[in-house]
Chains A and B, each alone.
Chain A
Amino acid sequence: MSRRIHPAVVPAQPFQLTARETFDGPIFETEEGKHRLEAALSRYPTKQAALLPMLGFVQSVKGWIEPADMVEVAEALDLTPAYVHSIATFYTMYNKHPVGRHFVQVCTNISCHLNRAEEVLHRFLAETGTREGEVSADGEFTVIEAECLGACGFATVVQVNDRYLEDVTPDCVPEIVENLRGTRNGGPDAGGDA
């Protein structure tokens, strides 16, 4: 299977927290940024339609979206910063505040709720020593309660950065947290088997 990315296709981005440094400065002036923007624009009849893809791209390289990024995206797409702000705050996946290296989202929706999800959530908070939504002192973790992640048959479902951890019970939380602590970013070995 070809590894080359088809120029006309906008691929989803891995959660590249380590790439933060390389994107210090205007994102859409980097080669990667230009390429993403161009590719996205080629896929839609309007410029505005590239808004979600571009916000997703910014978040994938920075981990969160700050106001300055919204201004950049707005300029790239001929939108007002206010409009981008409206969109960025509507969708919950865009982090408007920095998050820890491991962004842990515990689904507590109905099927997970029936499978002790609240306990899983509290266990994560206890193990990471954080309150919901805050970044742990060492910058490693942010834990939040999430709405349905769409894997209800494998409750409790926990999303760590881009990966789903399935069938999580309160008892496996310490090990997951321990494994995550040992990895530099949410890479393929980021703890727990999916």
Chain B
Amino acid sequence: MSFPHGSDLETTTRLSRHQGEAEARTLEGWRARGGYEALRRSLDMSPAEITEVVKASGLRGRGGAGFPTGLKWSFMPKDDGKPHYLCCNADESEPGAFKDREVIRWTPHLLIEGCLIASRAIGAEHAYIYVRGEFFEETQVLNAAVVEAYENGLAGEGILGSSWSCDVTIHAGAGAYIAGEETGLMNSLMGNRAEPWAKPPFPAQAGAFGMPTTVNNVETLAAVPMILENGADWYRQWGSEESPGTKLWSCSGHLVRPGNYEFALGLPLSDIIFDACGGTPSGKPVKAVIPGGSSTAFLTGDELDCATTYEGLAEAGSALGTASPIVMDEDTDIVAAMRRIAQFYAHESCGQCVQCREGTSWVVRILQRIEAGDGRPADIDTLYELCEQMTGRTICVLADSVVFPLESSLDKFRADYEARMKPTLVAAG
């Protein structure tokens, strides 16, 4: 376990400032740290006012897509007489990402508070926290906190003595990456296969149980209390215009100090990798980094100067995603790494869309063959072609998710692939 981290880089631990403090897990300890003050404040605000503050803060969804949170909340219908739901996406399963787990297991009350404030903003009567099933210990911690919240008037009927009520329920997943896709998550919550559905209907129209629903990531919701408490401008002191605030970074792979960090958005990626995480244990140069979790595009070791903002990483040809750089040193076998990534997506494809169901496993089979030294030059063209056909054709973006790393690895590490090709006979003459 690697909390709290030493770092040669200045961290901005706001959201994560109480991670590593065992007492912060209890209600008493959490209150001693100013917990639930933001919730109290939100009770004096109208849902629209809460949404406005979050909108003004520029907070963007931390689950990977980066959609503006306040805007998402504003899509929820007002006074429609229907039950509304909040789903907290704690199905953290993107390879490389492990930030939400830390939020849950160290600061469960922070998450609950964030859920309650968001529920108030969108008029939800029930907040479901969908935690991936493997996070058993985290669920235990969170559950203890929910029990405490209920017992102390922070959840359920008449929250903090007000007339407002909201239930909080932990819903454990059962092993499906695709349950982290918002419509897949809602299907899973309803007791269905976690198959994403084609939008429309959008969640804000007809989501969980057919009712207006908002799905927010753990880190997004955990950022809400501090924004409400300190204001939008305070939050905007960090980051850029388009990417304000601080961000948790899950750093893994070939690093001296892998782990979670919180930084103001906008630092150069290289600083995070070398200064904060200490570079590679082998001391060898970085060959490749997948900056935003396994479904973002590869960067080479020469492309790490980019700013760690949504726009900065997009400019660099990749994406911020879940802010989970996976670092690979010079000795890394890119073909094997890519094969392993593709294998994951093939395993997690729900199987609805043909391109994804058949495409992901086809990609795996080709990569396995190349890895085994039985590749043919035409395979590279085929892989490129598959990338094209698997992009933007399916209900959700799982198929696209394998394309980003695959296509970029072909672009940037083509030599690695070619080196594995079976020697072919060259016609004389």
Contacts and interface: CB of A to CB of B under 8 A. Distances in A.
Direct contact of A and B (CB under 8 A): yes
A94 B258 contact: no
A147 B173 CA distance: 15
Chain B, interface residues (CB within 8 Å), range: 35 or more
A111 B96 contact: yes
Interface in A126-173: 147-155, 159, 162-164, 166
A162 B191 contact: no
A68 interface: no
A8 B165 CA distance: 14
A57 B228 CA distance: 38
Given A9-B146, A12-B143, A43-B169, A148 B93 contact: yes
A166 B251 CA distance: 15
A56 B92 contact: no
Contacts of B231: none
Nearest to B405: A110
B197 interface: no
Interface in B103-154: 132-137, 139-140, 143-144, 146-148, 150-151
A5 B150 CA distance: 10
Interface stretch (B34-42, B303-311, B336-344): B336-344
A180 interface: no
B146 A148 contact: no
Interface in B287-327: 290, 294, 324, 326
Interface in B139-185: 139-140, 143-144, 146-148, 150-151, 156, 167, 169-177
Contacts of B136: 12, 14-15, 162-163
Given A90-B194, A94-B175, A52 B252 contact: no
27 contacts: A5-B147, A6-B150, A8-B167, A12-B140, A12-B172, A45-B209, A56-B172, A90-B176, A91-B173, A93-B134, A109-B340, A110-B96, A110-B340, A110-B341, A113-B336, A147-B344, A147-B348, A148-B94, A148-B294, A150-B92, A150-B101, A150-B132, A151-B98, A153-B259, A153-B260, A166-B1, A194-B1
Interface string B222-261: 0000000000000000000000000000111110001110
Interface in A75-122: 77, 79, 86-87, 90-94, 108-111, 113-115
A10 interface: yes
Interface residues of A, number: 55
Given A52-B173, A114-B332, A162-B136, A153 B2 contact: yes
A174 interface: no
A125 interface: no
A162 B151 contact: no
A48 B332 CA distance: 46
Given A8-B156, A166-B1, A153 B147 contact: no
A22 interface: no
B252 A152 contact: yes
A80 B393 CA distance: 33
Contact of A109 (B150, B171, B344): B344
Contact of B252 (A1, A51, A53, A153): A153
Nearest to B136: A162
Nearest to A11: B143
Interface of B: 1-2, 26-27, 83, 92-98, 100-101, 132-137, 139-140, 143-144, 146-148, 150-151, 156, 167, 169-177, 188-194, 209, 250-254, 258-260, 290, 294, 324, 326, 328, 332, 336-337, 340-341, 344, 347-348, 350
A121 B298 CA distance: 27
Contacts of B254: 114-115
B174 A153 contact: no
Given A12-B143, A52-B173, A154-B1, 6 more contacts: A52-B188, A111-B258, A113-B336, A150-B98, A152-B98, A155-B258
A48 B294 contact: no
6 tightest Cβ-Cβ pairs between the two chains A and B: A93-B175, A51-B191, A91-B174, A92-B175, A152-B252, A111-B252
A103 to B, nearest CB: 12
Interface of A is mostly: loop
A70 interface: no
Contact of B253 (A15, A114, A194): A114
Contact of A153 (B98, B140, B177, B189): B98
B192 to A, nearest CB: 7
B135 A110 contact: no
A5 B140 CA distance: 11
Contacts of B171: 52-53
A9 B169 contact: yes
A43 B258 contact: no
A150 to B, nearest CB: 5
Nearest to B348: A147
Contacts of B260: 153
Given A1-B148, A12-B172, A94-B175, A150 B135 contact: yes
A114 B93 CA distance: 18
Contacts of B26: 1
B210 to A, nearest CB: 9
B108 to A, nearest CB: 12
A55 interface: yes
Contacts of A159: 134
Contact of A110 (B150, B194, B258, B294): B294
A32 B148 CA distance: 22
Contacts of B98: 150-154
Contacts of B151: 2, 6
B133 A111 contact: no
A6 B328 CA distance: 46
